[in-house]
């Protein structure tokens, strides 16, 4: 079959449709926000914070979840916030109630969450959801797999950790966020 004047296979080899990157999403369960925050502080002290996105979520007195702290990648100028995107995927109300999370709009969170849902399987999302339901606080760390692998050793207070690596189209997500005005 001829496709745009060349055969389809050579066209695909020359210009792949999707540029995917191996990303890992890690979700640690904690007994309280202070324990999750202690691990976030440990992550800040190592070089991997330049590449990973991390967020601490906890249950408020009314039982609803909220983002308590967010540590975006240091080398990223308003790029995708994958940890917060996973939080919004698992707990959509978090995206509506983020007064302390100024640098990320609800629209950008929704776009990021949509890309995460597309990249992960339903069973992966269900497992992360169970971790969120069972914990008083969670630390979500997301980014390139090699960076999250380095960060894992600094997560010492978690009672349990769920982790999934997926092929993720970061360039498509970044392009969509740029079209939104860089609110990533």
CB 36 within 8 A of CB 155: no
Q: What is the pLDDT of residues 26-46, one digit of tens each?
A: 999 999 999 999 999 988 877
pLDDT computed for residue 33 by the predictor: 94
CB atoms within 10 A of CB 154: 17
* pLDDT: which is higher, 104 or 2: 104
Instruction: Tell the residue number behind the tokens 């540590």, with chain if given.
Output: 71
Q: Would you kindly state where each structural domain of the chain is located, as residue ranges?
A: 19-179
How far is the C-alpha of 33 from the C-alpha of 29, rounded, in Å?
10
């Amino acid at each position: 079959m001829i496709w745009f004047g060349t055969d389809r296979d050579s066209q695909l080899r020359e210009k792949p449709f999707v540029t995917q990157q191996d990303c890992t999403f890690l979700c640690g369960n904690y007994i309280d926000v202070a324990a999750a925050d202690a691990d976030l502080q440990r992550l800040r002290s190592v070089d991997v914070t330049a590449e990973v996105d991390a967020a601490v979520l906890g249950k408020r007195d009314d039982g609803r979840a909220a983002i308590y702290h967010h540590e975006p990648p240091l080398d990223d100028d308003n790029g995708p916030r994958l940890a917060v995107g996973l939080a919004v995927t698992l707990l959509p109300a978090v995206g509506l109630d983020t007064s302390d999370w100024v640098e990320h709009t609800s629209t950008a969170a929704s776009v990021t969450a949509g890309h995460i849902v597309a990249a992960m399987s339903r069973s992966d999302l269900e497992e992360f959801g169970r971790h969120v339901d069972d914990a008083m606080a969670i630390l979500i760390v997301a980014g390139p797999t090699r960076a999250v692998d380095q960060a894992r050793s600094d997560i010492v207070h978690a009672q349990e950790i769920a982790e999934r690596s997926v092929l993720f189209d970061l360039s498509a997500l970044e392009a969509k966020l740029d079209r939104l005005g860089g609110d990533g």
